[in-house]
A and B are shown apart, each in its own frame.
Chain A
Amino acid sequence: MTPRLQLSGITKRFPGVVANEAVSFSVAPGEIHALLGENGAGKSTLVKIIYGVQKADEGTIAFDGQPVSIGSPKEARALGIGMVFQHFSLFEAMTVLENIALGMDHPPPRRELEAKVREVLKTYDLALDPHRDVHTLSVGERQRIEIVRALIQSPKLLIMDEPTSVLTPQEVEKLFTILRQLKREGCSILYISHKLHEIQALCDGATILRGGKVVGTCDPTRESPRSMAEMMIGGSLKDLSGKDNCVYGEERFAVSHLSAPGEPPFGTSLKDISFSVRSGEIFGIAGVAGNGQNELLSVLSGERSDDVDGSIRMDGRELTELGVGARRRAGLASVPEERNGHAAVPTMTLTDNAILSARGPKALASGGILRTGQARDYAKSVIDAFSVKAVGPQALAGSLSGGNLQKFIMGREIMTAPAVLVVSQPTWGVDAGAAGFIRQAMIDLVDKGASVVVVSQDLDELLELCDRLAVINEGRLSEAMDVEGISIDRIGLLMGGVHGETRGDQARESAA
Chain B
Amino acid sequence: MMGFALEPRRQESRLANIAAPVIAVAATLIVGAILFTLLGHDGLAAVWHIFIAPLFNPYRWQDLLVKAAPLAMIATGLAIGFKANVWNIGGEGQYILGGLAGTGVALATLDMSGAWILPAMILGGIFGGMAYAAIPAFLKVKLGVNEILSSLMLNYVAIQLLYYLMRGPWKDPMGFNFPQTAMFSGDQTLPYVVPGTLIHLGVPIAAALALTAWGVMTRTVAGFQFRTVGAAPKAARFGGFSASSTVWLALLIGGGMAGLAGILEAAGPFGQMVPQFPTGYGYTAIIVAFLGRLNPLGILVASLVLALTYVGGESAQTVIGLPSAATGVFQALMLFFLLGVDILVRYRLVRLEPAKKTETAEVSAPKTGVARA
Tell me which residues from 1 to 41 in chain B have a Cβ below 8 Å from any Cβ of chain A: 7, 10-12
The answer to whether A60 and B358 touch (CB under 8 A), given A53-B367, A345-B232, is yes
Assess whether A72 is interfacial by the CB under 8 Å rule: yes
B228 x A345 contact (CB < 8 A)? yes
Q: Chain B residues near A55: list those with CB within 8 A.
A: 360-361, 363, 365-366
Q: Chain B residues near A72: list those with CB within 8 A.
A: 364, 367
A84 to B90, CA, bound (A): 48
Query: Which among A61-69, A151-159, A309-317, A489-497 touches the partner chain?
Result: A61-69
Q: Chain A residues near B222: list those with CB within 8 A.
A: 368
Binary per-residue interface labels of chain A (359-380) against chain B in the complex, 1 for a CB within 8 Å, 0 otherwise: 1100001001110100000000
Q: Which of B227, B235, B359, B368 has the most CB of A within 10 A?
A: B235
Q: Chain B residues near A357: list those with CB within 8 A.
A: 238-240
Tell me which residues from 347 to 398 in chain A have a Cβ below 8 Å from any Cβ of chain B: 347-348, 352, 355-357, 359-360, 365, 368-370, 372, 396, 398
The answer to whether A303 and B238 touch (CB under 8 A), given A70-B363, A348-B228, A356-B228, is yes
Query: Which among A85-93, A320-328, A467-475 touches the partner chain?
Result: A320-328
A369 x B220 contact (CB < 8 A)? yes
Assess whether B234 is interfacial by the CB under 8 Å rule: yes
B237 x A69 contact (CB < 8 A)? no
Assess whether A71 is interfacial by the CB under 8 Å rule: yes
How many chain A residues touch B (Cβ–Cβ < 8 Å)?
Answer: 52
A60 to B359, CA, bound (A): 6
A58 x B358 contact (CB < 8 A)? yes
Binary per-residue interface labels of chain B (215-232) against chain A in the complex, 1 for a CB within 8 Å, 0 otherwise: 000011110100110011
Binary per-residue interface labels of chain B (335-373) against chain A in the complex, 1 for a CB within 8 Å, 0 otherwise: 000000000000000000000001111111111100000
Binary per-residue interface labels of chain A (284-302) against chain B in the complex, 1 for a CB within 8 Å, 0 otherwise: 0000000000000000011
B235 x A323 contact (CB < 8 A)? no
A398 to B232, CA, bound (A): 12
Binary per-residue interface labels of chain A (318-344) against chain B in the complex, 1 for a CB within 8 Å, 0 otherwise: 000001110010000010101001111
Q: Which of A16, A58, A338, A369 has the most CB of B within 10 A?
A: A369
A266 to B10, CA, bound (A): 34
Q: Interface size for chain B: under 10, 10 to 19, 20 to 34, or 35 or more residues?
A: 20 to 34
A237 to B232, CA, bound (A): 36
Assess whether A59 is interfacial by the CB under 8 Å rule: yes
Selected contact of B362 from candidates A69, A325, A342, A372, CB within 8 Å: A69
Assess whether A485 is interfacial by the CB under 8 Å rule: no
Q: Chain B residues near A341: list those with CB within 8 A.
A: 232, 234-235
A73 to B220, CA, bound (A): 49
The answer to whether A303 and B235 touch (CB under 8 A), given A368-B221, A369-B220, is no
A356 x B235 contact (CB < 8 A)? yes
Tell me which residues from 383 to 442 in chain A have a Cβ below 8 Å from any Cβ of chain B: 396, 398-399
The answer to whether A53 and B7 touch (CB under 8 A), given A71-B363, A341-B234, is no
The answer to whether A56 and B360 touch (CB under 8 A), given A342-B232, A355-B224, A370-B224, is yes
A338 x B231 contact (CB < 8 A)? no
Q: Which residue of A lies closest to B233 (CB)?
A: A341
What are 19 contact pairs spanning A and B, CB under 8 A? Answer: A54-B366, A55-B366, A57-B361, A59-B358, A67-B359, A69-B360, A70-B360, A72-B364, A303-B238, A341-B234, A342-B235, A345-B235, A347-B231, A352-B224, A355-B224, A356-B239, A357-B238, A360-B240, A370-B220
Known: A61-B359, A325-B240, A357-B239. 6 other contacts (CB 8 A): A55-B360, A57-B361, A58-B361, A60-B359, A357-B240, A368-B220
